[in-house]
Structure 1
Amino acid sequence: MTDTVRVAAVQQPPVFFDREATIERACELVETAGRQGADLVAFPESYVAGYPGYYTPGPAADADEQSAYLLALQESAVRVPQDVEPLAAAADDSDVVLVVGCNERDQRPGSETIYNTNLVFDSDGTLVGRHRKLVPTFTERLYWGRGDDTDVVFETDVGRVGTLICWENHMPLARAHALHQGETFHVCNWPGSWGTGERYLEAERSTDCDCYPAIREQAFSANAFVVSAHAVLDPADVPDRFHALFESECGSLEWACGGSCVVDPFGQYVAGPVFDDRTILYHDCDLEKRQLAAVEFDQPGHYSRDDVFDLQASNRDDVVSSPDSPTPLSDLTDEDVALVSDRLEEDPDRIREILGALADVREDRAYQ
């Protein structure tokens, strides 16, 4: 790892709801950033293949249009890792660490759930991390399931890269979990920039958007450089069949107006924010700034007070769509119950009763 790392925040539109075309565009943008000397490249939230929440179906929406939109989201979602192999190759070819947002399709048999996911590729193309947004924000719950993992910081060739998606950067425990793992860089991504209060979901082309205090605070608290990638999108980027949706009272592209920036470990803007422009924002990060910032405020170190506070994170590996996932309680066989019964010297019926109670608790917790 060198003393200076060039970061790049991509502020370019996807090919909306077209997975293959968006991945092809992303690869071209990675190549462009690589030619400009970038070491770390970050894309906006759910870049592949578009943030769906600019349109919110509901009672006022046309049922047929709503169904077509939801099906298009499903069909353009990615399967990991098979659909993202071109992104891995692009990271490898350009020798960059890559963080890209996507709509990820659950691969458990029978499931059609979509997750809002950030993928992290190392500079050799290895997929080193996948973070699913823990809580879809407000009406986003129409599109995405709740994330089921707590992996937020990953070891890469440019250092430890942490990532949180949109309003996860307002979640104190998620932010603390990231910064206490010693982030060198924190990548956050957003669907644009918006107003607050009565101006919620109107465009806000200034740092009055609620995202910017969170960006600066994470940089200062973690002694990290924050690379914040914000989406841009206008009607010309959307298929004709969806224009009526975004022109209705249920949709708006107004706040897909960018706002990408880079903030240093002192919490100061060193690049951007840039609004509206379709660009790639670059900054050369001097890693000595992290050391200087930590002299004053070392939250992962002398300011942590681990003797007073204890933060625990629980990975929900039981529901991650992975071939290595543990067997759900409901799938335990009679032979499994017999083994537990013998080991604990307990009646098999009592074991089944306990397992049933545990399964009920897990199901209740999933819907809380």
Structure 2
Amino acid sequence: MEDIVTVAVVNFEPTWGDTHANCNRMIGYMRTASKRGADIVVFPETALSGYDVDADHEGDAQMHRQVAESVDGPCAKAFASAAKEYGLYAVYGAPERDGNAVYNAAFVVSPEGEVVGTYRKLHLPFKEAKWAERGQEPFMFDTPWGPVGVSICYDTYVFGEIMRYYRASGCRLIINCTAVDEFVTAENVRTAVEYLSATNNVYIASANCIGCIRENAMLGGSHIVGPSSHVPAIHYYAGQPFGAKGSDEQEMFLGTLDLSYVNKSFLAQQWADKNPDFTPGRYIDMYKKLANMDKFASR
């Protein structure tokens, strides 16, 4: 398994509803990322469509449902072809159609020119449930650097279970496609991602939207954060923290990571504990009790 990987994260301003234009621009970033030595390039949540909910329409007439495509759709094929041509992995946010269902998803394409699969957002905040259905499971993809986990925005910051699951499963790098606007304070998401990186001893690569796409002003702040050589600190290897001055400009940031920093058991670096007391069986029992409570049973 290789240790050294170069990752690009893109501050991207989608044109709302214009998947063709967004696809062309994103492929341009893939080409440039390849020229600059990137192995993996990450785009924001709903980068292909734009984030804001279509308040002018209902049901299948909503923009995200209109432009949603499957894993063998035209844009997915174009991204897969570009990934093969440029020799890298790409992860991008887009509405995914699977039959009548539409998901807020992150597509993964590989240097072999394949759509590896999609991560479907598990938790839908605000008005996202108006157009998307909830995903049901995590998603990892195999790379020369080991498994890489994928998460989307709210799943990352608020529900720590998925981050812990990926890290305990052997992921040293987790990709976070996000669309954070000014309604969610920069301090909230910055604190969350730094805590998750430090506590789980893992690299997190976040790509965020920028611009006032329709109603919401996006924060930008795409970055790569991970363990520092000065334990237990974390370090920004590329980009800037959410809310930093100038972090809302359209730009691509590259960081070269040495994943051997996280070869130890997860949690080990933060707490200097060679054998952390992580007991999944105990948590299964706890969550079974919660799942049987009436207030959670219907979710």
Give TM-score, length-normalised by structure 2: 0.82
Q: Distance in 1 between matches of 2:59 and 2:211?
A: 20
Q: 1:216, 1:263 within 8 Å by CA — same for their partners in 2?
A: yes
Q: What is residue 16 of structure 1 aligned with on the other side? A: 16
Q: What is residue 322 of structure 1 aligned with on the other side? A: none
Q: Return the match for 1:161 from 142, 148, 157.
A: 148
Q: How far is the alpha carbon of 1:23 from its aligned partner?
A: 1.8
Task: Provide Cα deviations, 1:179-234, integer angstroms capped at 9, x if missing partner.
Answer: 2111121111221343xxxxxx17x5xx51x2122212232233221101010133
Q: How far is the alpha carbon of 1:367 from its aligned partner?
A: 5.1
Q: Return the match for 2:105 from 95, 117, 120.
A: 117
**Greater shift in the superposed pair: 291-300 or 34-43:** 291-300
Percent sequence identity is 25
AA aligned to 2:144 is D
Q: Where in structure 2 are there 5+ consecutive unaligned residues?
A: 229-233, 286-295
SS of equivalent residue, structure 1 residue 117: strand
Q: What is residue 36 of structure 2 aligned with on the other side? A: 36
Q: What is residue 289 of structure 2 aligned with on the other side? A: none
Q: Distance in 2 between matches of 1:258 and 1:70?
A: 29
More strand, by proportion:
2
- Residues 70, 28 of structure 1: alpha-carbon distance in 2 compared, 3 angstrom cutoff: same
Task: Provide Cα deviations, 1:291-326, integer angstroms capped at 9, x if missing partner.
Answer: 4796534899721533763559xxxxxxxxxxxxxx
Q: What is residue 171 of structure 1 aligned with on the other side? A: 159
Q: What is residue 93 of structure 1 aligned with on the other side? A: 85
Answering whether residue 64 of structure 2 is matched by residue 73 of structure 1, we say: yes
Q: 1:230, 1:259 within 8 Å by CA — same for their partners in 2?
A: yes
Answering whether residue 237 of structure 2 is matched by residue 270 of structure 1, we say: yes
Q: 1:221, 1:299 within 8 Å by CA — same for their partners in 2?
A: no
Q: 2:68, 2:94 within 8 Å by CA — same for their partners in 1?
A: yes
Q: What is residue 233 of structure 1 aligned with on the other side? A: 211
- Residues 99, 93 of structure 1: alpha-carbon distance in 2 compared, 3 angstrom cutoff: same
Q: What is residue 136 of structure 1 aligned with on the other side? A: 124
Task: Provide Cα deviations, 1:318-351, integer angstroms capped at 9, x if missing partner.
Answer: xxxxxxxxxxxxxxxxxxxxxxxxxxxxxxxxxx
Give TM-score, length-normalised by structure 1: 0.67
Q: What is residue 243 of structure 1 aligned with on the other side? A: none
Q: 2:13, 2:210 within 8 Å by CA — same for their partners in 1?
A: yes
Q: How far is the alpha carbon of 1:99 from its aligned partner?
A: 1.1
Count how many residue pairs are aligned between Structure 1 and Structure 2.
Answer: 279
Q: Distance in 1 between matches of 2:257 and 2:85?
A: 22
Q: 1:180, 1:299 within 8 Å by CA — same for their partners in 2?
A: no
Q: Distance in 1 between matches of 2:222 and 2:280?
A: 38
SS of equivalent residue, structure 2 residue 227: coil
AA aligned to 2:38 is A
Q: 1:134, 1:147 within 8 Å by CA — same for their partners in 2?
A: yes
SS of equivalent residue, structure 1 residue 219: helix
Answering whether residue 286 of structure 2 is matched by residue 306 of structure 1, we say: no
- Residues 367, 144 of structure 1: alpha-carbon distance in 2 compared, 3 angstrom cutoff: farther
Q: Distance in 1 between matches of 2:84 and 2:273?
A: 31
AA aligned to 1:268 is H
AA aligned to 1:253 is N
**Greater shift in the superposed pair: 158-167 or 269-278:** 269-278
Q: Where in structure 1 are there 5+ consecutive unaligned residues?
A: 58-64, 195-200, 236-245, 247-251, 313-364
Q: How far is the alpha carbon of 1:2 from its aligned partner?
A: 4.0
Q: Return the match for 1:281 from 222, 235, 253.
A: 253
Q: How far is the alpha carbon of 1:68 from its aligned partner?
A: 10
SS of equivalent residue, structure 1 residue 159: coil
SS of equivalent residue, structure 2 residue 282: coil
AA aligned to 1:79 is S
Q: What is residue 222 of structure 1 aligned with on the other side? A: 200
- Residues 102, 366 of structure 1: alpha-carbon distance in 2 compared, 3 angstrom cutoff: farther
Please list, as runs of the form range in 1=range in 2, the aligned pairs for 1:324-343 lying within 5 A after superposition: none
Q: Distance in 1 between matches of 2:81 and 2:297?
A: 36
Q: What is residue 177 of structure 2 aligned with on the other side? A: 189
Q: 1:98, 1:121 within 8 Å by CA — same for their partners in 2?
A: yes
More helix, by proportion:
1
Q: Distance in 1 between matches of 2:274 and 2:61?
A: 46
AA aligned to 1:219 is S
Q: Return the match for 1:260 from 200, 210, 222.
A: 222
SS of equivalent residue, structure 2 residue 82: helix
Task: Give the root-mean-square deviation of aligned CA atoms.
Answer: 3.1
AA aligned to 1:123 is P
Q: What is residue 213 of structure 1 aligned with on the other side? A: 191
Answering whether residue 47 of structure 2 is matched by residue 47 of structure 1, we say: yes
